[in-house]
Amino acid sequence: MAIKKIQSALISVYSKDKLDAIVKLLGAHGVTIYSTGGTQKFVEEQGVPVTAVEDITSYPSILGGRVKTLHPKVFGGILSRRDHELDQKQITEYEIPSIDLVIVDLYPFEATVASGATEPDIIEKIDIGGISLIRAAAKNFKDVVIISSMTQYEELESILKENECGTTLAQRRKFAAEAFDVSSHYDSSIFNYFNQEEGIERLKVSQQEAKVLRYGENPHQKGVFYGPLQQLFEQLHGKEISYNNLVDMDAAVSLIEEFEGETAFAILKHTNACGVATGATVKEAYLKAFQADTISAFGGVLVANKEVDLSAAEEINKLFCEVLIAPAFSADALALLKSKKNRILLVQKEKLKGQKQFKSLLNGVIAQDRNCVTDTEKDLKVVTKLVPTQDQIDAMLFASKVCKHTKSNAIVLANNGQLFSSGVGQTSRVDALKQAIEKAKAFGFDLKGSVMASDAFFPFADCVEIAHQEGVQAAIQPGGSVRDQDSIDFCDEHGMAMVFTGTRHFKH
């Protein structure tokens, strides 16, 4: 493929890091360099000749630097088609120099927003000239190379060395595609900043980091994760994280966040908890969680909210698990857990930040706020004659936290900071309860004195009737059925306590 030599370049960047090698390389090949302000000074410091943009345009940088490169003599040199007779005639007539390479690094808008800066400072970091240069050069990729991010400097340097300061059309087209990625992401970030206040119903999601996965949910499906996963986790050991691992990891960290201020442990399988418990230590919490379902725990995703020490690790190491997440691992615990070469060990570095959830559906996308409501004691409305004890209240709030993160229809049976069992994803609430009862009995739990949580209201009294037969003493549910009174009356007649939260926790 033909190599097009670079004879002139415009460089206008915010960050000068790692730019020196490219400047010197261009200078060594006799490339004419145009620049402005701080970038011009930087080029001069490298001992490379540079022409000020002002010398081309005959206009100085004005409006406090807001207008520097926005001029026909700059954009004409970038947009002119080298094989277009009229373009070249006008270039000659108006004495416009051709520009073969444009290097731009935009003002750091996102970083400025993230820093908590004032709105005036944020607005000043909306790049105008830079974004215009990117779009112009990318549009004319047939003749012009566009470098739109400092992350491309090393690649450009390698290409220029290999091609004697030239590029192929394929290389220029690739850089153009990446440039439009930069510009669209930049504009999306600006829109999303303004839209925090304006509330325009538009969806602009842009992620510039991507990790191709081994496959998707099944081996015949392609899978990709978009986003900065390394900001949330540090992988200390194990195989490559899979699509299904990521789905379960999301469910795991969402669930464990419910237990802030307590020592908690959870075991998940296909996004549902098969074991959850609190305890005085991580070891105790793990053993209680494992007791709830010693079968489903095999191959699960495990999560703790406190450092995993050696005593906990010795118990966990007996189980085959795909992933173990914790805020920290003691050195001896880590050494032991690494004995299984494929076991994924992750340190969670920060909490989940996203407040929105998205799902592709039909021919579009649906979005909703994350369910950030956690039922607390002040939310409870006692609707029965029997007032629950403090121990029962604590048990119900524990069960409600687990139920919130369980696929609907969901029923959770629990007591004393321990999940006994759950009925998950059933088409009727009665079936979910029956499943939970059967499972609790299978793993040796006595339901007498336990509590029951439901993710939505009881449409009939049948659930409290069945639960009462098994010894359940208290129930927590949102309430809101036209037949709530039927369930209340049954509880009153049979000495059960029941509370309403007023908040439904469907999960699909």
Radius of gyration of the chain (CA): 31
Q: Residues 264, 267, 271, 274: is their CA dihedral positive or negative?
A: negative
Angstrom distance (rounded) from CA 131 to CA 106: 7
| Active-site residue identified among 174, 204, 270, 434 | 270
Tell me if residue 87 falls in helix, strand or coil: helix
Crossing angle of the two packed helices 129-139 and 72-79, in degrees rounded to 10: 30
Angstrom distance (rounded) from CA 364 to CA 130: 33
Look up 5 and say whether it is catalytic: no
Angle at 136 between CA 132 and CA 137, to 5 degrees: 120
**Other CB atoms closer than 10 Å to residue 142's CB: what's the count?**
13
Longest alpha-carbon distance in the chain: 98
Cβ atoms of 132 and 178 within 8 Å: the answer is no
Angstrom distance (rounded) from CA 452 to CA 412: 6
Which residues lie below 8 Å from residue 89, measured CB to CB, with a gap of 6+?
none
Give the position of tokens 């999303």: 192
Angstrom distance (rounded) from CA 425 to CA 240: 29
Encoded tokens for 59: 């206009």
Name residue 46's beta-bridge partners. Answer: none
Write the DSSP symbol of residue 358.
E
Look up 139 and say whether it is catalytic: yes
| Active-site residue identified among 139, 237, 338, 434 | 139
Helix ranges, 94-203 (H): 109-114, 119-124, 129-139, 153-162, 169-198
Cβ atoms of 479 and 504 within 8 Å: the answer is no
Task: Report DSSP letters for 265-331, one per residue.
Answer: EEEEETTEEEEEEE-SSHHHHHHHHHHT-TTTTTTEEEEESS-B-HHHHHHHTTS-EEEEEES-B-H
Angstrom distance (rounded) from CA 254 to CA 251: 5
Catalytic residues: 139, 270
